[in-house]
Amino acid sequence: MTDGAGSVRRRSGEFGHVPVLLHRAADLLGPAIEAAGERAVFVDCTLGMGGHSEYFLKHFPGLRVIGLDRDTQAIDTASRRLADFAGRFTAVHTRYDGIAEALGAAGIAEQRRVDAILFDLGVSSLQLDESERGFAYSVDAPLDMRMDPSSELTAATVVNTYAVADLRRILSTYGEERFAAKIAAAIVRRRADASLRTTGQLVELLYDVIPAGARRTGGHPAKRTFQALRIEVNGELDSLRAAVPAALDALTVGGRVAFMSYQSLEDRIVKRALAERSRSRSPQDLPVELPGTGPEFQLVTRGAERATEEEIAENPRSAPVRLRCARRIAGS
């Protein structure tokens, strides 16, 4: 997945997209899968087009894969792609914070815990490449941005009904947009004459509002606004805050989890949660660690790993990725 909403490229074949950091994810999660043997369970919390799941199913015989996605189109696409693995693959329509319910729906008994979990956050290649979904600012399309097409809130509803203070807060908090106040005021003025209905109309407004000097640096001037609207429409950060502890709780001892984040807001949530579960809870002045207060997890990556130049050349959407991995070393 990715957080860049600018490029919309034609896929080479129905399933021709390149999953981000595919081999590195396998290197990090593979030891836990191999240790569990034929009873291994892998949860792909961001199924998308099924690229990561397909690789794991092919390279780890006997592996059971549970794929989660809130996008029904992604569920359909990945299920067709992985039809040959029907006995080992189960798709569940849910947000990634519904991991506990998804495991129940997939028939994973409570005592059979999960061995590996992957989060590839942001917007998926499928969603970006379907221009009519409104995620990309490079083409004119309806202001939609729903990851789950069955949900009610759209980007058009946000820009046309939210109060100016709420628009400013969303743009500033979720987009880290320094011109949030000016953009919010301009949106309210524009919609007083006519509703904003398309991405092209919003991009035109942003070009009018953001100073020319600022437009020449920091990427496309619509990038931060589109990110903020997408996060608001899909409740992404609230979902992630709930999903990270739920995923950590689902892992068996020795199990591993990997997170691919594409912007600082996501990475900050992941970093804090992993740090909290990787430190001792014993009082610092005690000479020994109290039973049950030791760290539950051990960090596998040192900080956040970035894509290599070779990876970026093969898949430009991997450029902003930050990858973190942790292993469960204690707990129930």
Joined together, the tokens standing for residue 255 give 């199990």
Would you say 120 is a known binding-site residue?
yes
Cα distances from 198 to residues 106, 208, 228, in angstroms, run: 39, 16, 16
298 in a labelled binding site: no
- The reply to whether 51 sits in an annotated binding site is yes
Spatial distance between the Cα atoms of 220 and 141, rounded to a whole number of angstroms = 17
Number of H helices, E strands in the chain: 14, 7
Rounded CA separation 44/52 (Å): 8
In terms of Cβ atoms closer than 10 Å to its own Cβ (0-12, 13-18, 19+), residue 15 is: middle
Residue 107 assigned ligand-binding role? no
Q: Which two tokens stand for residue 170?
A: 């969303």
Residue 318 makes CB contacts below 8 A (sequence gap 6+) with 2, 20, 21, 307, 311, 312
> How many Cβ atoms sit within 10 Å of the Cβ of residue 329?
14
Question: Do the annotations mark residue 17 as ligand-binding?
Answer: no
d(CA 230, CA 134): 10
Using DSSP, state whether 255 is helix, strand or coil.
strand
Provide the angle, in degrees to the nearest 10, between the axes of the packed helices 264-277 and 236-250. 30
Residues of the binding site: 50-52, 69, 96, 120, 127
Binding-site residues for S-adenosyl-L-methionine sit at 50-52, 69, 96, 120, 127
